[in-house]
Every structure is written in structure tokens, then in C-alpha cells.
Structure 1
Amino acid sequence: MHLFQKHFCVIAMSMWAVSAAYAGPLVEPTLHIKPEGGSGRVALTLDACGGRTDTRILSALVENVIPATIFVTGIWLKRNAAAVEIMRAHPDLFELENHGGRHVPAVDTPRKIYGIRAAGSPAAVLAEVESGAAALAGTGEPAPKWFRGATAEYSPSAIAMIRKLGYKIAGFSINGDGGSLLGAKETTRRVAAAKDGDVIIAHINQPTHAAGEGVVQGLLALKAKGFTFVRLNDVDNFGNDGTTD
């Protein structure tokens, strides 16, 4: 191997090592609400990433008077004006919060999470958060207080930056629908297994997926047990990794 080639390989390996060390592990925060006791209460959070609206879920929430915190992207808002109007017509049930402008993971180093390319830099994370807030403002909604990034995974430095912007970061304690990829039976089981103080994450943007039916059935099972449903802004909550303190 020529001397130049050796030097090039050493430099390339050094750059890779620095990049890998800088990237570091990601954080998937948890979130709980203050337990109530008695029959218990849970917070339902639904992500509206892109695509359309699962009217099975939306109709069930309205008909059964189940409050929810909806994390919306700018992409979803543009495509789902009718659903947004339904949510805005029921301010006692729905609060809309920031899921980003383009559904880009809030990770400030270049990588992919579940096949989705991360923001990749602090400036790109900032743009994702701010564009999501701007999209919500365009609907006439109040300024969001919460942020949840695509994939719900973050770099620690991105968490710190988002917190400095004034947002709480919405983790969860129960993954209800496995990113909307689970079947109806398993989704029902997971949602119905919620306990007092849990925060459920599921999706309201996949109307063709079986998981949507499971979300509905799981929520109705919880309601039948006497659980109360609350929105994140209406209760005390606590997350790890500096996401809410």
C-alpha cells in the first residue's frame, strides 16, 4: 500500500471514529401523568404524521367524549382540513400540539431512525420544530406547548435545545399500536392494559391499518373499566431525561 493510501485510510478511520462518538446513543423518553387513584386516569396521545385521517378513531373519540392530545405535522395539516375542523369544533376534547413541519426525527447528527433520515444538524432540528409551530399557527390554534419528534427518539443535545425553546417533550409509557403496524388484537390488548398514570401513544393517520380498530376497542375497554381520559395540558406530568422539568 502506498504511503498516501495509508495516510488516507488512517484519516478516514479517525473521521469515522469521531463521527460515531459524536453521534452517541439516542433517547426515547418516557412520560407519565400524576396518578389519580380510584378507577384511574390515562392520557391518550395520537400522532398525525402524514397521510389521511383514521375516522374510526376520530368518530369514536367524539361519540364517546374521550379527550386526546393530537400531535400534528405540517404535512398532515395541509391534507386534513376537514378533520382539523372537527377537532377545533370540540375544544373540550382535542388539543393540537407540535409534531414537526416535515416529520423529521429531532436528531442533530446524520443518521436514519426506522428508515427515516434524521434532521442531521442543530439548525435542521430547529427548522423542524419552528415549521411545525408555524403550521399550527396557520390554522388559528394556540401556540403549542408540547413537541414530539418523528420516531419519538432524540439526541440529548436536541432535547436540550427544544427545551430551551420552551417546549415540553412528549414521551409515553405505552406504545399502543407499534407505529400503527400492529394488528387489531395486539393493539387492543396493549391499549386496554393501561394503568393509572399511563400515557398512551398511537396513530390517527393510518385509516387502512388494522391497528386503528384496535385503538378504538382498547379505549372502549378502558372506558368500560371506569378510566378517565385527560389531555397533557390539563394534568401534572413528569418525563425523564430532562424532557419536562
Structure 2
Amino acid sequence: MKTILLLPLLAALGLAAPALAHDGLLEPKLHIAAGSKTPRVALTFDACMGLADQRIISVLIENRIPATIFITERWLKRNAETFAIFRAHADLFELENHGAMHVPAIDRPVPVYGIASAGSAQAVEAEVMGGANALVASGAPQPHWFRGATAKYTASSIAQIRALGFDVAGYSLNGDDGSLLGARMATRRIANAHDGDVIISHINQPTHAAGEGVAAGILALKAKGYEFVRLDAVHEEGSNATVN
């Protein structure tokens, strides 16, 4: 059935449409259960490569705001001091798997945003398990979640990652467009989050204006009375057979 016919049918049945990107890849969505008394969101941050954005980290620690951090082996090797801070605040930070080399976990050769994908099932496994093993070797608990570089996959790579023992972390709100937004726009996006949103932002670009906006957006949500939760603390609903 053509997509143009399938989407109205799914809507009529009350089913979620598959999160299919224009390049034919899947870009899964993830939501958490809405708050019972106050709205709540899950803050998730990718630590891809580069350094650590202390503007965001300091806001999280000073305000006792929990978050889920997706860490690559590449970032881990350059940021041992910040990783130690995360470990020292285990009540705040859930440390999860962002892969070994920040390679998109896609089992066919296709570039995504100019980044070459893993390209095969064997390379996907190396990316996923390399990231997990690096976290555990550095003292973190065994990760439960995986989010690949670019957050895009094929259906078969999602199934493979699930078979390796990981749920695949999508998101519902992009807070900083890969840390490329200006500060004002990043603030506005995050401040306007809805109850149950899983927000993705980046914590590895301390020289980008987006980080200032992300920090301000978090404080704006706090001022509105939002609750912040980690992914390991609530029930989630994800598209494309990524969870549950």
C-alpha cells in the first residue's frame, strides 16, 4: 500500500504512523508517561565527541535535575574528569550508550548528514557493543539504552540492536538541532515542551550558542513546575519496535 494511502488509514485506526525519514531511514519517536499531578519531561543529552558543556552540566547539578546522558567511547576518552562528575552524581545522571565511534547504526551504506553509516550488520554490532563495553570498563553500570549517531536506523538495525539487549532511544522534541541552533531558539523550543516529551540536546559543544539556550530552557521548565525524570524511572512508549 502506498504511503499516501497508509497514513490516513493508520490515523483512522488510532495507530501511530511509522517514523520514516525522507531518506527511507527510520527516525523513532519516544515519549514517557505523562505526569499524574504535574507535567514532566525526560532530558536526554548526546555526548558525541569533543568536550563537555559545563553551562548545561552545572545547571543540572546545581538544581538537582536528573538527566540521561548518551556517551560515546570517543567522548569518554577525552572527558575523564566530566565522566567522573557524572559518576559522582549517580542519583542524577543515567549513563547510556551512544556507540563507540559515533557512526550511524545503519546496516547499509548510506551517508546521513554527511556521516558515513556503519554499512553492515557486523559494523553495527561493533559500534553498539564498543560503546557499551567502554562505559562498563570505565565504571558505569551496564547500559540499557542505545542511541545511535544521527538517531536514524533501518528496521533491521533496530531489530539487531534490540537482540543485542538494548532498547533504542528515540525522542519527541529536538532541543538544539545538533547543537546548531541559536541560544534564543533553543530556549524557546525546550521551554515549550509538552507533558511526556523526551527532549534530545547535546552536551559536547561548549563553544556553541545552543548550549546557553538549552540551559535557559531547562530553567524555564523548572520555573513552570515541570518534573524531570530519567528514562530508567518511568514507562516509555516508542515507535518502530524500539522499546517494550
Fold shared by both chains (TM-score > 0.5): yes
1:138 aligns with 2:140: no
Aligned to 1:111: 110
Matched residue, 1:70: 69
Letter in 2 for 1:104: V
Distance 1:166 1:121 in 2: 18
In structure 2, the partner of 1:168 is 167
CA distance in 1, matches of 2:177, 2:36: 28
What is the aligned partner in structure 2 of residue 241 from structure 1? 240
1:67 Cα deviation from its structure 2 partner: 0.4
- Distance, in Å, in 1 between the alignment partners of 2:24 and 2:105 is 13
Alpha-carbon distance in 2 for matches of 1:147, 1:54: 21
Deviation at 1:39, TM superposition (A): 2.3
> Hey, what does 2:42 align to over in structure 1?
43
Give me the whole-angstrom Cα distance separating, in 2, the residues matched to 1:148 and 1:178.
16
Aligned to 1:204: 203
Which residue number corresponds to residue 8 of structure 2?
none
Q: Distance in 2 between matches of 1:193 and 1:110?
A: 37
Distance 2:104 2:201 in 1: 17
Which letter maps to 1:45? Answer: T
Structure index of larger Rg: 1
TM-score w.r.t. structure 1 length?
Answer: 0.89
Match for residue 120 of structure 1? 119
Match of 1:9 in 2: none
Cα deviation code 1:130-156 (max 9, x no counterpart): 100111011111110000000000011
The amino acid that maps onto 1:210 is A
TM-score for both structures, normalised by structure 2: 0.90
Letter in 2 for 1:72: I
Moved over 6 A (4+): none
List per-residue Cα deviations over 1:13-46 (Å, max 9, x = no partner): xxxxxxxxxxx82000000000014321100000
- 3-state SS in 2 of match to 1:179: coil
Cα offsets for 1:143-196 (capped at 9, x unmatched): 100000000000110000001111110000000000000000000000011111
* SS at 2:100 equivalent: coil
Amino acid at match of 2:126: A
Paired residue secondary structure (1:120): coil
Q: Distance in 2 between matches of 1:155 and 1:128?
A: 15
Rounded to whole Å, the distance in 1 between the matches of 2:57 and 2:109 is: 36
User: 1:133 & 1:59 partners in 2: Cα distance?
Assistant: 26
Residue in structure 2 matched with residue 216 of structure 1 by the alignment: 215
Aligned to 1:18: none
Identity of aligned residues (%): 62
Deviation at 1:111, TM superposition (A): 1.1
Distance in structure 2 (CA, Å) of the matches to 1:209 and 1:83: 18
Aligned length: 222
Instruction: Tell me the distance in 2 between the aligned counterparts of 1:93 and 1:184.
Output: 25
Residue 146 (structure 2) aligns with = 147
Distance 1:121 1:195 in 2: 37
Runs (5+) with no aligned partner, structure 2: 1-22
Equivalent AA in structure 2 for residue 123 of structure 1: Q
Structure 2: distance between partners of 1:141 and 1:96: 7
- SS of residue paired to 1:100: coil
Whether the 8 Å CA contact 1:37–1:196 is kept in 2: the answer is no
AA matched with 2:25: L
CA displacement 1:209-229 (0-9 Å, x = unmatched): 000000000000000000010
